Amino acid sequence: MLKNTATLPWQERPENSSDVVWRYSGNPIIKRDAIPSSNSIFNSAVVPFKDGYAGVFRCDNKAVQMNIFAGFSTDGLHWNIDHDPIDFQAGNTDMIHSDYKYDPRVTFIEDRYWITWCNGYHGPTIGIGYTFDFKEFFQCENAFLPFNRNGVLLPEKIDGRYAMLSRPSDNGHTPFGDIYISYSPDMKYWGEHRCVMKATPFEDSAWQCTKIGAGSVPIAINEGWLMFYHGVINTCNGFRYAMGAAILDKEQPDKVKYRTQPYLMTPETPYECVGDVPNVIFPCASLHSMEEDKVAIYYGAADTVTGIAFGRISEIVKFTMENSL
Amino acid sequence: MLKNTATLPWQERPENSSDVVWRYSGNPIIKRDAIPSSNSIFNSAVVPFKDGYAGVFRCDNKAVQMNIFAGFSTDGLHWNIDHDPIDFQAGNTDMIHSDYKYDPRVTFIEDRYWITWCNGYHGPTIGIGYTFDFKEFFQCENAFLPFNRNGVLLPEKIDGRYAMLSRPSDNGHTPFGDIYISYSPDMKYWGEHRCVMKATPFEDSAWQCTKIGAGSVPIAINEGWLMFYHGVINTCNGFRYAMGAAILDKEQPDKVKYRTQPYLMTPETPYECVGDVPNVIFPCASLHSMEEDKVAIYYGAADTVTGIAFGRISEIVKFTMENSL
Amino acid sequence: MLKNTATLPWQERPENSSDVVWRYSGNPIIKRDAIPSSNSIFNSAVVPFKDGYAGVFRCDNKAVQMNIFAGFSTDGLHWNIDHDPIDFQAGNTDMIHSDYKYDPRVTFIEDRYWITWCNGYHGPTIGIGYTFDFKEFFQCENAFLPFNRNGVLLPEKIDGRYAMLSRPSDNGHTPFGDIYISYSPDMKYWGEHRCVMKATPFEDSAWQCTKIGAGSVPIAINEGWLMFYHGVINTCNGFRYAMGAAILDKEQPDKVKYRTQPYLMTPETPYECVGDVPNVIFPCASLHSMEEDKVAIYYGAADTVTGIAFGRISEIVKFTMENSL
Amino acid sequence: MLKNTATLPWQERPENSSDVVWRYSGNPIIKRDAIPSSNSIFNSAVVPFKDGYAGVFRCDNKAVQMNIFAGFSTDGLHWNIDHDPIDFQAGNTDMIHSDYKYDPRVTFIEDRYWITWCNGYHGPTIGIGYTFDFKEFFQCENAFLPFNRNGVLLPEKIDGRYAMLSRPSDNGHTPFGDIYISYSPDMKYWGEHRCVMKATPFEDSAWQCTKIGAGSVPIAINEGWLMFYHGVINTCNGFRYAMGAAILDKEQPDKVKYRTQPYLMTPETPYECVGDVPNVIFPCASLHSMEEDKVAIYYGAADTVTGIAFGRISEIVKFTMENSL
Amino acid sequence: MLKNTATLPWQERPENSSDVVWRYSGNPIIKRDAIPSSNSIFNSAVVPFKDGYAGVFRCDNKAVQMNIFAGFSTDGLHWNIDHDPIDFQAGNTDMIHSDYKYDPRVTFIEDRYWITWCNGYHGPTIGIGYTFDFKEFFQCENAFLPFNRNGVLLPEKIDGRYAMLSRPSDNGHTPFGDIYISYSPDMKYWGEHRCVMKATPFEDSAWQCTKIGAGSVPIAINEGWLMFYHGVINTCNGFRYAMGAAILDKEQPDKVKYRTQPYLMTPETPYECVGDVPNVIFPCASLHSMEEDKVAIYYGAADTVTGIAFGRISEIVKFTMENSL
Amino acid sequence: MLKNTATLPWQERPENSSDVVWRYSGNPIIKRDAIPSSNSIFNSAVVPFKDGYAGVFRCDNKAVQMNIFAGFSTDGLHWNIDHDPIDFQAGNTDMIHSDYKYDPRVTFIEDRYWITWCNGYHGPTIGIGYTFDFKEFFQCENAFLPFNRNGVLLPEKIDGRYAMLSRPSDNGHTPFGDIYISYSPDMKYWGEHRCVMKATPFEDSAWQCTKIGAGSVPIAINEGWLMFYHGVINTCNGFRYAMGAAILDKEQPDKVKYRTQPYLMTPETPYECVGDVPNVIFPCASLHSMEEDKVAIYYGAADTVTGIAFGRISEIVKFTMENSL
């Protein structure tokens, strides 16, 4: 992660709570109508940028068309989101048509901010772009064939190659889904695909028994890569999305070292349980400080608004190791 | 529309709002238990009548049997609904058996109030009836073969024939549906069926990409027929119903001149998002005054209660023309 | 039926058979490639015409596009089918566009031959046309809203109105289906829809428990209207289509007087069990002579070829009455 | 029912209410996090025990694994639930493996408390266990082959045999389900299976048209066995669970004497409409006093928390008899 | 097995064949119309009886109603099947109503011939009956709650109890299915249900990866119980049924000692691949002679006719042990 | 294509035929039991090799496990297939585990024979391997993430990169499917994915309206790349697979220049219509001689056996250009 001097968004754990991860009392931090055209703003990504933070936001408009928008904040809690969607220029390809863009992630690698998102090209696949300044954006070749969602880049190269987590899917409300990893020497050609982690047997951990998907950009910790991910259970009244954590091996990130059997957070508040799609917690980004032992997790709530939750990295790692599947 | 001297229900746009259509602050105006037997009262229709208003209301009873009831109001906001369902007499047929009746619309044409509804005859089809006085009701032949829903009559004849919008469906939670128009010389035999408007491609306007259905009785305006309709998106947690507007050609109402790409209203309030069927806005009627440039739209909320929303006709028309698909 | 002097196609019952209806030993009488462009020729209709017979044939071409073609025969067994599909002119409407045409039936009423078929207009519905001479053809308004199949006209008016049997359906491989009747004063507007007969409970008659559809044009007999129809069972390996007979009331044809609990014919021969759609017998027409007590039934086999079967009308009526559901 | 000296939980009917059954104003009485490990506590059973009450509670943990826990209360409203699940010893079998346990019921018969639950053995079936003291628990043979749910024992033997209501199902979100009764001489072998009551036709009582299941342990009344049960309707946004009452014949409990066409209670409050599975009322137990003419019904709400409702037995019986299907 | 003096049906292995099980060259031995009323005769059971053989046959009539009929043979190849279905008297219950009966098996135990079949009681379950003489038949209580199919009794008691294999299912074309065993002291009450064998992973043995079901009555051999069973794969064109063999432990028949990874026989002949349900081999019975090392397996083919196949018991056992999953 | 001196398999067009492609009269050339272990041999690939031909064959064994086998022929009609499946060594990866292998294609590029197949790695994806001599085989990284089928390499590099056609799918009997192309500099990393051709609207060409997939290795012709592909229609009795031809642009093979609206061949013969999966023609390879203007197309029939068909290249090209969609 880039160094920056901004204060990490933070709020201490509520007194009566023993939760490993706890919600910000000011949630939702971004409401559905935070820009004039928006129906909903959720499943969005933030990174340290200059003296504060920048982000790429999923804003569905009132025609319920999906697109991604840049935004900026000094404290990570109050955001100014552009009123127009990101206008990509040609990156490593001229083929930059998108039917839609949603669920962005942002990762700084080497010299630039890489953005991945679910890109509409004859169905959902993983779009890739980059920016140096959050003003000019460049779109690259799609990473994979359709159908795919939840593409998340590791923040460092592995053996000299970019590494991307993703979740092969189908073209609808996919009732299955496991996390894979793929590698690329050049952000154009991808290969060496490996299965990383799968949905669980119902008996073992039902909240993640239907499908799972990578969430936030993994954080380098001593034990490996710490990743927040979402898991889904198919109830008789639809899908419910909760959040867990996994620790992947540092050198061989297709090896899962630990993975929470319990969830870290499940829909409980009105803004998570009621909205365009009820009962959804969907993490897409986090900000952290290893020195302060803090992490702030950004998540979409009910496919409508954006919330933030906090935790101590050391506690989360301990919890993940001690409650691993 | 009949002239009447009653005051149109109205409330000015909230100060901080720029919405084209806005909700009444006293919503829901009719609660689920407004009559002793009712489980829910929603998807109902009103018209000017005498010095006030009359209506036909869908009241599901506590066995969740669907039927329609007459009701009366002086101000359009407070309603007295009969405790017994409408008891139809034979109109142009003796075959007036119904397994159930729901989602009524009411239209005054020439000399009487015509009522259309979803009628249970070996599955849902379009029932037709009429009344002169909201005391005696007469039931006619069903307009179409099963399966059909959302039959809405135009308030004037076209080329000397009655014109009805409808939405062919199947016998369950239909996952498709387009609006058609049909004509009749006599309210008994129907033909010259034309497709009017279809569900949209997901990329163009996702809130109406699964199915659409005619809502309120179209209003004659200079530009044609102004109709509020519902559109449905199939989320991973079920259907979400929102409301849009369309303007049909005056002489050839199977021609769509304009149609909102954005919705006018989507479920956002607790009474729209929580209830027997969450996330439903379902317009079935409107009252308007061209002179005052006002319209009051009645809609079912969450298949449980009835709400009302307001707008300026000129603004709605402008919005529809400027934001047309 | 028109009088004509042609010999009815006929073959006596095989010696060892006690079947009420038996197959022609020369089946299939029309092979899949009987015209150069055809992939298959089946589900087709014939009538007496001049000194022989004329017919309207479903010929799917090698792109598997469906269309209907005129054809002629002197003996009802050997057919010359036009190499080009029927080119309709405007009848009682200018809206004669079809996405596809299939499963025709032909009926002579008063002064002309009426043709009904499954017509592609935003999905399947019932197309109507007529001809006086099988050279010039005129297309009328579709009878019903989509979705509908198996429209069959009665050969006489009922109370001065045309009467049409049909089978409301959906837009795919419909897993349900009952037979209705509708009336029209003018072949343009249709109403007074009544349910005639429904698919049966599995326990009572499984071969017709999934859906049923009118087949041949009903024959006026003393007991009412004799109709051959198809019934479908949904096996674990797909639909199986068999043929039964029903006798409808002469004056009130929505009343079923008798209906065969056993089938009359089920797929047994190679040309019925193997083909583009295995296990299909689909009757669409019959020729008969009351004087000779004979009927020849034309049916599509395996959605690929056309067969013919024979029976004694008196025996079929007796069997239907004695084996009625 | 055992005599005990504890006060029955009770609250009088609200002044403005005419409901036959009314909610406790302090609902939910057990919250989702009442024990440290729990995600949700619902669909649970209570009985009089010593000077107060004991119960068996479904507590899903934060891995959303299902298990049952013992708990105790002096007033039936405030509960101390064990932090560890029940640890069963071998009863009439050594095969006491369970993949999961949920939806318990408890019944005192003769000398002990019998517990039945949905037991995971290659899918859901009916588990049986017993305790004398709510300290030591013994597990018996599963009653039936998979797949089955909602096993409820009658509190008295019928003709010297134990009698169990159950609901055969499939291995998923079963879209069908009727109540059966089976008998056993010894709690090991079961037979003489009879269908008791079925889901209703949609037209007759839609809230129970998809499936039904036995709820609380039946109460012996003069008229027979009074049972609270759940009924399910499949809306376009998922299943909705409501509660009704039935009276079974005392000697032949497969005969239904009366059964409510209207529901007694349907999801209306936030804790019933919003939660892990929205719109669920699921009764599993009741406490009653014939002398005081009172019953307190325990029910799971939204698959998340536990609520309680009250009624007068005589009124419920009268209502059931007067509003019977 | 009873001793009888009849010759076992037999034909030597074809010269060019190395198959473990081979077809009779005269197949099908029973054609679809072997009795006047029959549409099809298949999935039927035979046993030694007096100087020859008796059997219980599934004959679907021409209304495709399913029932079972007695039949007799001197050589096991030529059969006289009664023209009327078996008329059961009350056995251990008066509740002997059946909506339908199909797929019978017959087993001699102690003093009588027990018949099990799929019995229609609110859906399919396992019916039980017995006869001493194939003239008088007595029907008992259904063994299990619905839904169940393929109930097969072991020919000897296990620990003094009757033992029945069965296959829990649903009410349609069940896409899953494993074999269980249950025990009864008295043919009335059943318990101690155990899972015996499950459908296989696709990668291990695809022909039995969708569902499996017990077939013929197990034969006592030195190694345990030899059972022929059917396995099903769900292809893109429907289910395909093939036959395998398993050897169960003699004392603990829920333990599978060996089970063929390859099938023994798969649909290959026209009468197995073409018919009412294509691609079905469904074994329901066998006759054998340990002395002659012969077994004759009876199986339904394409749900239309009955075939017979032969093998050497010692070879089948060796093959099963050497090719076991 | 490599030069070789073997005679191309060939048979002249039957006298009475005007088909562009015609079947070999000796079909099927490879029967289901051509090797001792095989249940079926189909969907296989051949190339010129030394003085004759070599091939890679899909042989499902009698456990219906899928694997690929090498085989050799001098005339292309009579084949000796190895009795053991290909034993791959590590190529450009050590991760050469396969759950199954099926539907191989073989292409000679530069210095070796490349094999692609559907490879089981957490579901179907595209496996890649190579051989120089059909004795030693080397397996490489899978080309794509699951789920994918029908990977076919172009026989020449495009802009210095390998080019592969493929068909993204799901993990079952995929009811959708379009052809894409991807590029690789090194047979390890793949990118620049483009959609090539899609399933057609039902009205335009129903035989290919459900899904399509690349078949044989494209042949370089003057007009571009000539490819035989399969198209699928979903009938009420399952999928039917037929064969068409397409001509892709030589330099930009994601551009389709021509594509047959009619099929070239559809299941008509018993070995295509009856078998393990009825009604399948599935081309996987072709041999051709530009000088002799001949092509021999190898195709799987009914997922059971292998057939061969012949045509004149010039005629096929002309037909494709003149009958293009």
Q: From F279, which residue of chain E is nearest by alpha-carbon distance?
A: E237
Residue type, B93: T
Low-confidence ranges of chain E (pLDDT < 50): 1
Tell me whether residue D1 is in a domain.
no
Pairwise CA distance, residues A169 & A166, whole Å: 9
Q: Is residue A267 predicted with pLDDT exceeding 70?
A: yes
Name the minimum distance, in Å, from the CA of D77 to any CA of chain A.
23
- C211 to chain B, closest Cα gap in Å: 14
Chains A, F: CB contacts within 8 A come to 75
Residue C171, pLDDT above cutoff 90? no
Question: What confidence category does residue C1 fall into, taking pLDDT thresholds of 50, 70 and 90?
Answer: very low
CB contact under 8 A, C275 and F278: no
pLDDT above 80 for A4: no
D169, pLDDT greater than 90: yes
In a domain, F22, yes or no: no
CB contact under 8 A, A278 and B203: no
d(CA A192, CA A183): 6
d(C-alpha F186, C-alpha A161), whole Å:
15
pLDDT at B1 over 50: no
Residue C302 pLDDT more than 50?
A: yes
- C-alpha F115/C-alpha F271 separation (Å) is 27
d(Cα D11, Cα F95) in Å, to the nearest integer?
68
3-state per-residue secondary structure call for chain E = CCCCCCCCCCCCCCCCCCCCEEECCCCCCECCCCCCCEEEEEEEEEEEECCEEEEEEEEEECCCCEEEEEEEECCCCCCEECCCCCCEEECCCCCCCCCCEEEEEEEEECCEEEEEEEEECCCEEEEEEEECCCCCEEECCCCCCCCEEEEEECCCCECCEEEEEEEECCCCCCCCCCEEEEEECCCCEEEEEEEEECCCCCCCCHHHCCEEEECCCCEEECCEEEEEEEEEEEECCEEEEEEEEEEECCCCCCCEEEEECCCCECCCCHHHHCCCCCCEEEEEEEEEECCCCEEEEEEEECCCEEEEEEECHHHHHHHHHHCEC
The answer as to whether E20 is a domain residue is no
Q: Tell me: the pLDDT tens digits for B239-268? A: 999 999 999 999 999 999 999 999 999 999
> Residue A319: in which H helix or E strand, if any?
helix A313-322
Contacts of F65 in chain E (CB under 8 A): 203-206
ipTM, two decimals, is 0.96
Nearest Cβ partner of B185 from C121, C144, C189?
A: C189
As a whole number, mean pLDDT of residues A70-98 equals 97
For residue B236, give its domain range.
27-322
Strand ranges across the sheet with E137-139: E88-90, E137-139, E124-131, E112-120, E101-109
Could you say which of E100, E238, E278 has the minimum Cβ distance to residue C203? E100
Question: What pLDDT does B177 receive?
Answer: 96
Subunits with at least 3 CB pairs below 8 A relative to chain F?
Answer: A, C, E
Q: Determine, for residues E145 and D166 on separate chains, whether the beta-carbon distance falls below 8 Å.
A: yes
Return the residue in F96, F189, F211, F212 with the most chain A beta carbons within 10 A, the one to mutate for interface testing.
F189
Nearest residue of chain A to residue F197 (CA atoms): A122
Q: Encoding tokens for residue E231? A: 């396995």
CA distance E117 to chain C (A): 16
Does the pLDDT of residue D73 top 90, yes or no? Answer: yes
- How far is Cα D39 from Cα A263, in angstroms, rounded to an integer? 10
Cis peptide leading into residue D155 (ω within 30°): no
Strand partners, F236: none
Measured distance CA(B56)–CA(B71) in Å, rounded = 6
The nearest alpha carbon in chain F to A178 belongs to F122
The DSSP call for residue C271 is H
Edge-first strand listing for the sheet containing A112-120: A88-90, A137-139, A124-131, A112-120, A101-109
Q: Do F236 and C173 touch (CB under 8 A)?
A: yes
User: Nearest residue of C to residue B193 by CA position?
Assistant: C145
Mutate to test the interface with F, among A93, A94, A145 (most CBs of F within 10 A): A145
Residue type, A279: N
Q: What is the pLDDT of residue F171?
A: 87
Mean pLDDT of A266-280: 98
User: Which residues on chain E are in Cβ contact (under 8 Å) with D147?
Assistant: 168
The partner residue sitting opposite A189, judged by closest CB among F145, F176, F190, is F190
Q: Which residues of A80-113 are buried (b: 16+ CB within 10 A; e: fewer)?
A: ebeeebbebeebbeeebebbbbbbbbbbbbeeeb
> What's the average model confidence in pLDDT over B282-296?
98
CA distance C188 to chain B (A): 6
- Where b means 16+ CB within 10 Å and e means fewer, F98-126 reads bbbbbbbbbbbbeeebbbbbbbbbbbbbb
Q: Would you call the peptide bond into F147 cis, given omega within 30 degrees of 0 as the criterion? A: yes
Mean pLDDT on A255-284: 98
Average pLDDT of chain B, as a whole number? 97
Long-range contacts of B56-61 (CB under 8 A, 24+ apart): B56/B86, B56/B104, B56/B106, B56/B115, B56/B117, B57/B30, B57/B81, B57/B104, B57/B306, B58/B101, B58/B102, B58/B103, B58/B104, B58/B300, B59/B35, B59/B85, B60/B102, B60/D206, B61/B37, B61/D262
From F167, which residue of chain A is nearest by alpha-carbon distance? A145
Interface test with E, best of C237, C264, C277 (most E CBs within 10 A): C237
Q: What is the pLDDT confidence band of residue F1, given thresholds at 50, 70 and 90?
A: very low
Radius of gyration over every alpha carbon of chain C, rounded to an integer in angstroms? 18
Taking any CB pair shorter than 8 Å as contact, residues of chain E touching chain D are 93, 95, 121-122, 125, 141-148, 166, 168, 170-171, 176, 178, 180, 182-186, 188-195, 198
- CB spacing of B233 vs A64 below 8 angstroms: yes
Smallest Cβ distance to F64: which of E233, E268, E279? E233
| Contact call for E192 and D193, based on CB within 8 A | no
Residues B184 and B190 sit within 8 Å (Cβ to Cβ): yes
pLDDT for residue D20 is more than 60? yes
Burial of C236 (0-12, 13-18, 19+ CB in 10 A): middle
- Mean of pLDDT values over C160-181: 95
pLDDT per residue over F194-226, tens digit each? 999 999 999 999 999 999 999 999 999 999 999
Q: Does chain B touch chain E (at least 3 C-beta pairs within 8 Å)? A: no
Compare CB distances from D236 to B36, B61, B239 and report the shortest one's residue: B239
Is F134 contained in some domain?
yes
D33 vs D42: CA distance, rounded Å: 11
Nearest in space to F284 (alpha carbons), one of F22, F103, F137: F103
With contact defined as 3+ CB pairs under 8 Å, the chains touching C are B, E, F
What amino acid is encoded at B181 in this protein? I
Distance from CA of A6 to the nearest CA of B (A): 33
- pLDDT recorded at residue F274: 98
**pLDDT value of residue F223:** 97
Residue of E33, E58, E62, E274 to mutate when probing chain C, most C C-beta within 10 A: E62
CB contact (8 A) between residue E205 and residue F276:
no
Decide if E21 is inside a domain: no
What does the pLDDT read at residue C137? 98
Output the CA–CA distances (angstroms, integers) from residue E214 to A121, C78, D147, E283, F9, in the order listed. Answer: 49, 52, 18, 9, 48
**CB B142, CB B148: distance < 8 Å:** no
The confidence score (pLDDT) of residue A6 equals 83
Residue C62 belongs to domain with CATH number = 2.115.10.20
Q: pLDDT grade, residue D6 (50/70/90)?
A: confident
Q: Is B195's CB within 8 Å of C168's CB?
A: no
Pairing between strand D137-139 and D88-90? parallel
Among candidate residues E107, E108, E104, E113, the one with its CA nearest the CA of residue E133:
E113
Confidence tier at F3 by pLDDT (50, 70, 90): low
Entry pTM:
0.97
* Residue B6 in domain: no
| pLDDT of residue D297 exceeding 90 | yes
Question: CA-to-CA distance for C257 and C246, rounded, in angstroms?
Answer: 8
CA dist list (Å): E182 to B210, D170, D189, E178: 48, 19, 9, 13
E189 domain-assigned: yes
The rounded Cα A265 to chain-centroid distance in angstroms is: 15
Q: CA C306, CA C276: separation in Å to the nearest integer?
A: 13
**Residue E1's pLDDT is what?**
47
Q: Which residues of chain B are at the A interface, by a Cβ-Cβ cutoff of 8 Å?
A: 18, 203-207, 233-238, 240, 261-263, 266-268, 270, 273-274, 278-279
The number of C-beta contacts closer than 8 angstroms across C and F is 61
Distance separating alpha carbons of residues B149 and B146, to the nearest angstrom: 9
Does residue D147 have a cis bond before it (omega within 30 degrees)? yes
Q: pLDDT, tens digit, for every residue of C215-228?
A: 999 999 999 999 99
Best probe of the E interface among D182, D188, D193, by most E CBs < 10 A, is D193
B with C: how many residue pairs have Cβ under 8 Å apart?
Answer: 75
* Residue B307, pLDDT score: 98
pLDDT of residue D1: 47
Q: The tokens of F194 are what?
A: 């483009």
Question: What amino acid is encoded at A230 in this protein?
Answer: H
Chain B residues near residue D266 by CB distance under 8 angstroms: 39, 62, 276
D273·B274 Cβ contact <8 A = yes
Contact A63 B203 (CB under 8 A): no
Which of A202, A236, A262 is the closest to D238 by Cβ? Answer: A236
- Closest C-alpha to B167, from C146, C150, C188: C146
According to the model, what pLDDT value does residue E4 have? 64
Chain D residue with minimal CA distance to E167? D145
Confidence category of residue B4, pLDDT binned at 50, 70, 90: low
Task: State yes or no: pLDDT of F278 exceeds 50.
Answer: yes
Class of residue F238 by CB neighbours under 10 A (exposed 0-12, middle 13-18, buried 19+): buried
pLDDT band for position A3 (cuts 50, 70, 90): low
The Cα B70–Cα B54 span in angstroms is 7
Is residue B214 domain-resident?
yes
pLDDT tens-digit series, residues F233-258? 999 999 999 999 999 999 999 999 99
Mutate which: E64, E119, E169, E171, vs C, most C CBs within 10 A: E64
Query: Which residue among F125, F145, F185 places its CB closest to the CB of A148?
Result: F145
Q: How many domains in chain A?
A: 1
- pLDDT in the model for residue A77: 98
Chains in contact with B, where contact requires at least 3 CB pairs less than 8 Å apart: A, C, D
Q: Compute the half-sphere exposure of residue D91: CA atoms within 13 Å on the CB side of its CA.
A: 24
- Determine contact, residues A176/A199, Cβ cutoff 8 Å: yes
Q: In angstroms, what is the C-alpha Rg of chain E?
A: 18
Pick the range with the lowest mean pLDDT from A172-176, D49-53, E285-289.
A172-176
Neighbours of C77 (CB within 10 A): 18
Query: What was the pLDDT predicted at A224?
Result: 98
Q: What count of CB pairs under 8 Å joins C to E? A: 61
* Alpha helix ranges (H) inside chain B: 270-273, 313-322
pLDDT of residue F106: 98
E268/F32 CB distance under 8 A? yes
Interface test with chain B among D205, D236, D322, by most B beta carbons within 10 Å: D236
